[in-house]
Homo-oligomer: A and B are copies of this chain.
Amino acid sequence: MTSDNTAADPSAQGPLVGILGGMGPAATVDFYSKLIAATPAATDQQHLRVMIWADPTVPDRSQAIVGHGEDPTPKLVEGAQQLKAAGAAFYVAACNGSHAFLPRVREQVDLEYVSMIEVTAEHLSALPYVKAAGLLATDATLTAGLYQDSLAEYGVKPIVPEAADQHTVMEAIYAVKAGDLGPELRVSLVRVAQSLVEKGADVIVAACTEIPLAMTTEESPRPLVDPAVLLANRVVTKANSL
């Protein structure tokens, strides 16, 4: 926001940022918190105008990617349409798995989105010490190759957990969603991150929005990169440039 952009001038209210959320609800809260924290503002009126479409009934993205579930695309299209109808300038999705479906949503809804995954890959490629990135993500996000493809495009080597470790990651994610992550599972997740470091990871990417709720930056054996924070920063920059 520029200093001209105050509440005194109602026309200078800035663009509406759309958030496709509810996947899950806790991750949506987390992303909106990060967006608020990323916004330089001292009063309410200096914050971004945001519309959050939080539909937790969007069919499970993970199940759909591995081929067992209902296609979430129609519900995501509905959400993007609602955001567009309300006047959003662009939107973001606070759910990694949903990114597998966003290109198809884009074909049906004429509203630009900013990819959390691409923002992350771009960010990592700019860090001089990062040659390889360890991925803590859902089975589905890994199966869809979302981060692997984007990282490879930006010249960063993706490193994924062994099968047994990946099982632990999934357990932790579903425990966060259910609101009952215990201390043992927290430690197990740190152990998985450590195994990624042993395989060469220079950073750990919290490539599922529930991961930062399960492992803190202080617990991670290497810098924990939170794509939601990177996306929040990008949203602020982009909104203020419009």
Bound: A7/B48 CA distance, A: 32
A14-B57, A86-B85 given; A44·B22 CB < 8 A: yes
Please give, as numbers and ranges, the residues of chain B lying within 8 Å of A70 by CB-CB distance: 7-8, 10
> Do A49 and B44 touch (CB < 8 A)?
no
Q: Which of A22-75 contact B (CB under 8 A)?
A: 22-26, 28-29, 32-33, 36-37, 39, 41-60, 70, 75
Bound: A170/B54 CA distance, A: 32
Least Cβ distance of A32 to chain B in Å?
A: 5
> Do A57 and B13 touch (CB < 8 A)?
yes
For A82, give the chain B residue with the smallest CB separation: B86
Please give, as numbers and ranges, the residues of chain B lying within 8 Å of A126 by CB-CB distance: none
> Do B85 and A42 touch (CB < 8 A)?
no
Bound: A10/B72 CA distance, A: 11
Bound: A86/B87 CA distance, A: 12
Least Cβ distance of A108 to chain B in Å?
A: 17
Least Cβ distance of A175 to chain B in Å?
A: 10
Bound: A45/B70 CA distance, A: 13
Bound: A88/B86 CA distance, A: 13
- Chain A 1-25 interface mask (CB, 8 Å, partner B; 1/0): 0000001101001100000001111
- Interface residue range, chain A: 35 or more
Please give, as numbers and ranges, the residues of chain B lying within 8 Å of A163 by CB-CB distance: none
Least Cβ distance of A172 to chain B in Å?
A: 15
Which interface residue of A13, A24, A50 has the most chain B CB atoms within 10 A?
A50
Bound: A137/B227 CA distance, A: 37
Bound: A43/B25 CA distance, A: 10
8 Å CB contact of A48 from B46, B49, B56: B56
A–B Cβ pairs within 8 angstroms, 6 of them: A13-B55, A26-B36, A29-B29, A45-B57, A49-B57, A51-B54
Residues of chain A whose beta carbon lies under 8 Å from any beta carbon of chain B = 7-8, 10, 13-14, 22-26, 28-29, 32-33, 36-37, 39, 41-60, 70, 75, 82, 85-86, 177-179
In addition to A24-B47, A37-B179, 7 A-B residue pairs with Cβ atoms within 8 Å of each other are A7-B59, A7-B60, A24-B44, A43-B177, A44-B56, A49-B56, A51-B82
